Every structure is written in C-alpha cells, then in structure tokens.
Amino acid sequence: GAVVSQHPSRVICKSGTSVKIECRSLDFQATTMFWYRQFPKQSLMLMATSNEGSKATYEQGVEKDKFLINHASLTLSTLTVTSAHPEDSSFYICSAMSRDTQYFGPGTRLTVL
C-alpha cells in the first residue's frame, strides 16, 4: 500500500508558541490531503482538506487562522498550529488519497504546556 509519513511524531511546546507538522506521501503524489484530530478515546474528526496549489477547505468550527495549512507540492502538506494552547493538545493525523483509497500517516502527538 501507499505510505504516508508525518514529522514529528511527538512534540511538546509552550503555550503561545507555534508548531508545524509535516505530512508526506512517500511513494505517490497526492493533490489532496486531509488533516484529522483525535482526542483520547474519541474518533477521528476531520479538520480540513488540503489542496495542492490552492487554499485549504476547513470544516465547520475549525479556525483557519489558527490551523494554517500549506500544500506546496504534490507530496507535502503542512499544518501549523499557531499560538498553541493546552486545549490544542491532541493527536493530529494526516491522510492522502491514492487510487480511491485513503492512507493515513502515523500521527503526531502534540502536547501544549
């Protein structure tokens, strides 16, 4: 199957700082990638759809100015959590579509102190 990677796997930051998470499709090109967030014991919640070369589409209730998404190439999308606060602590997971199948990255554990 197709491989999606994320970096970093875990990050701890201070409140008020910004954190960037990278998502890469390693063996395929993805014009569309997706960013999900998952809180403990809960399911994945779609945050936004990242489109190569254009603006991301955010789900209702997700602040676009707080969660900046850049999809600069066909293999890389980045999510920047700006001015992070403790309530942003979560597990962030990206995915990309390859031949009608969506493949997920390993996730990034963000802890905001």
Partner 1 sequence: LAKTTQPISMDSYEGQEVNITCSHNNIATNDYITWYQQFPSQGPRFIIQGYKTKVTNEVASLFIPADRKSSTLSLPRVSLSDTAVYYCPGRNNAGNMLTFGGGTRLMVKP
> Of the candidates 73, 102, 111, 113, which one interacts with partner 1 according to CB under 8 A?
102
Residue 92 CB, shortest distance to partner 1, in Å, is 10
Choices 13-21, 63-71, 73-81, 102-110; region in contact with partner 1 by CB under 8 A: 102-110
> Of the candidates 13, 74, 76, 97, which one interacts with partner 1 according to CB under 8 A?
97
- Asked if 68 and 47 count as a contact pair (C-beta separation under 8 A), the reply is no
Binding site for partner 1 (CB under 8 A): 1, 4, 6, 32, 34, 36, 43-46, 49, 91, 93, 95, 97, 100-107, 109
